[in-house]
Structure 1
Amino acid sequence: MAKPAALELIKLTKSYGGTVAVDAIDQVIPDGTYTCLLGPSGCGKSSTLRMLAGHESVTSGDIVHKGANITDLPPARRGTAMMFQSYALFPHLSVVDNVAFSLKMKGVEKAKRQKEARELLELVDMSAYGERLPDQLSGGQQQRVALARALITRPSILLLDEPLSALDPFLRIRMRTELKRLQRELGISFIHVTHSQDEALALADHIIVMNRGKIEQDGPPQEVFDAPRTEFVARFIGGHNILGGSGNRKLAVRTDRMTIATQSSAGAIPASVVAVEYLGTIVNVTVETAQAGELTVSVGDTAYFHKPVEIGQSVFLTWKAEDAHQLAA
């Protein structure tokens, strides 16, 4: 049974002067899911998030949250909360007071708001740091405080603007796990803007790929990765080779579904090895072909080192017909 919609975007548009940043997008985001808005810089994903939060006015179109039109409501009345990329913690307030700040603004008395703040700090594993100031925390700890501060308003949708971009790679992977755990435990919708394909694939139940203000494709991560609809999605999501097809249609073949051999066989494409990149569990072999230009073949490390190839070596590529996915013209 399909989940009910937490959020529906209807012909949502944002223009800055003569520039259209978000171009009449229609999208339903299911309730209780982890959704990633994915795309390159300037694709419209952050403008979309800011419109959802109420921090950016809508040029035209509507935002509907659980049946109510929230397009023109102020941020505090939308049922959403936003966690900013910069964390924006108040440097002069303790961790507890930072988390409790929005309740203070609502007139909640001190004992009650601090109790709620400590409960949220426990949820994000920061209860031992309640009396510290932000500059006494690491980047990862500051992020957890910012997360607790966003959650204290009990939103039904949490909006996250590139929340992991300032963290080092090891901490980024650890925080991905934490964010996914929190979303499952809270049962609310998370909408997370990122330009990282790995981040989106690791976190999301639902990926929305944006390009030039429009939605190119949306769906579960495995579907978007395995069956990209367009050349843009195939190239941006990564892990695919693009081959020219007949009648202006192109084909995408996953790099790990191509086979590289030193002997020719029926239908094989001749190629020359131009680069070899060792990535631990896989080795990426880049080859140059006369028919399709530069292609990449991802080979498991064990298989590669059993039969390694060298730069300049002649090789032959094959793949199964069912692994060639047709792209929209």
Structure 2
Amino acid sequence: MIKTLNLELVATVKRYGDTVAVDAINHKFKSGTYSCLLGPSGCGKSSTLRMIAGHEQVSEGDILLGGANITDLPPASRGTAMMFQNYALFPHISVADNVAFSQKMQGIAKPARLKRAMELLELVDMVSYADRLPDQLSGGQQQRVALARALITEPSVLLLDEPLSALDPFLRIKMRLELKRLQRELGISFIHVTHSQDEALALADDIIVMNGGKIEQAGSPRSVFNAPKTEFVAKFIGGHNVLQVKGAPVAVRADRLEVSRTTGDGGARLTAAVRDVEYLGSTVNLALEAGSAGDLTAAMSDEAFFADPIEIGTTVFLNWKPEDAHSLAA
């Protein structure tokens, strides 16, 4: 029976020589949730995941699972399992034997471990590929096998290091749905490292945005997207413009920026030149150059845009409602 347990980072630090990769972060991952560590390359997210897994030594601080301190335990004794970015399947043994490998190392008899491996392969819809070798599988199929292999250890927490980055866009979206389905069905915690904002917004119950080894903001996808706390989060999460209003930085969502050809009765807050037009299907993004306000983006519905198309080079006037300007930390 898989136990669902809270995982907690307590002032956790990772140093590589004089470089601080993870800077005394604190966070509690609630049991049975899907969390995404989100941030650019070098922000400390993968180092954090590898410390949780036991593949990197903690320089300072603690990692607690269900209240027990697992900081110094070896990977196999932690109650976590890690699915690596490159899947790391053994090329010379079958899919079923790959999945069963950890139980073989534990001395579990072959019939019992293969029976359990087939149960996990059924969970990821890969039973019909049980006798194949990994190089006879597509990338998406290899990923499913790697998932089954990680899950056979019955972890309380499954750790995923950029698991979708090697897949094509169509398969990436399909596997996003599969990962979320699996997490719901298993009821265990998933902690998923990604640099993709779309991926984090689509998957996570809890997004942890990292920058420079620190946690800039954590919360539900909707709260992080609608109420970024810092300029970094507003820009990295996407879909926002950062503006100076009365000397203070504010974020205005691109879809809340009103674009007009005339100033209107109340005048315009900003004037901008249209630098580019990007058609995205249901929306059209305008790349704007707004003088001292810098480069901005406005998102219009395709219906509104094509009712009166705006050409590159056109001067437009920008407004937004006061309630759509969200204050940021200085």
What interval of TM-score do these two structures reach, taking the shorter chain for normalisation?
over 0.9
- Between the aligned partners of 2:150 and 2:294, the Cα distance in structure 1 is 48
Q: Is 1:182 matched with 2:182?
A: yes
Deviation at 1:245, TM superposition (A): 3.0
1:259 equivalenced with 2:224 (yes/no): no
- Partner letter of residue 289 of structure 1? A
Q: Residue 280 in 1 paired to residue 281 in 2?
A: yes
Deviation sequence 1:180-203 (CA, Å, 0-9, x none): 000000000000000000100010
1:42 Cα offset (Å):
0.3
Q: How does 1:281-296 map to 2 (within 5 A)?
A: 281-296=282-297
Cα shift at 1:267 = 4.2
1:20 aligns with 20
1:241-299 Cα offsets, whole Å, 9 max, x none, are 0101334x200000001111111121412221111011111100112113412211000
Tell me how far apart the structure 2 counterparts of residues 182 and 198 of structure 1 sit (CA, whole Å).
19
- What is the DSSP-based 3-state SS (H/G/I as helix, E as strand, rest coil) of the residue aligned with 2:276? strand
Q: Distance in 1 between matches of 2:290 and 2:99?
A: 57
Q: 1: distance between equivalents of 2:313 and 2:5?
A: 54
Q: Deviations over 1:7-29 (max 9, x none)?
A: 11100000000000000001111
1:62 corresponding residue in structure 2: 62
Q: Which amino acid aligns with 2:316?
A: V
Q: What amino acid is the match of 2:281?
A: G
Equivalence for 1:165: 165
In structure 2, relative to structure 1, the CA distance for the partners of 1:261 and 1:5 (3 Å cut) is: farther
On the 8 A contact 2:243/2:251 being kept in 1, the answer is yes
Q: Which amino acid aligns with 1:14?
A: K
Corresponding residue number in structure 2 for 1:192: 192
1:236-255 to 2 correspondences below 5 Å: 236-247=236-247, 249-255=248-254
Q: In the alignment, is residue 321 of structure 1 matched against residue 295 of structure 2? A: no
Q: Which residue of structure 2 lines up, in the alignment, with residue 304 of structure 1? A: 305
1:5-154 pair list within 5 angstroms: 6-154=6-154
- 1-structure distance, mates of 2:290, 2:179: 43
Give 2:262's aligned amino acid: Q
Q: Which amino acid counterpart does residue 22 of structure 2 have in structure 1?
A: V
Q: Distance in 1 between matches of 2:246 and 2:30?
A: 38
- 8 Å contact 1:5–1:66 — kept in the other structure? yes
Count of aligned positions = 325
**Percent identity between the two aligned chains:** 70
Does the CA-based 8 Å contact 1:13-1:58 persist in structure 2? yes
* Distance across 1 between alignment mates of 2:308 and 2:114: 63
SS of the residue aligned with 1:31?
coil
Structure 2: how far apart are the matches of 1:104 and 1:226?
Answer: 48
Partner Cα separation in structure 2 for residue 171 and residue 231 of structure 1: 32
What is aligned with 2:202?
202
Q: Which runs of 5+ in 2 are unaligned?
A: none
> In structure 1, what is the Cα distance between the partners aligned to 2:199 and 2:294?
29
User: Secondary structure, in 3 states, of the residue corresponding to 1:116?
Assistant: helix
What CA distance in whole angstroms lies between the structure 2 residues aligned with 1:143 and 1:156?
A: 20
- Conserved? CA contact 2:85–2:163, under 8 Å: yes
| Length-normalised TM-score, structure 1 | 0.97
Hey, what's the Cα distance between the residues in 2 that align with 1:22 and 1:180?
Answer: 27
Equivalent position amino acid for 1:252 in 2: A
Normalising by structure 2, report the TM-score.
0.97
Q: What letter matches 1:299 in structure 2?
A: M
- Offset at residue 315 of structure 1 (A): 1.1
| Bigger mean CA offset, 66-75 vs 264-273 | 264-273
Does the 8 A contact of 1:225 with 1:237 survive in 2? yes
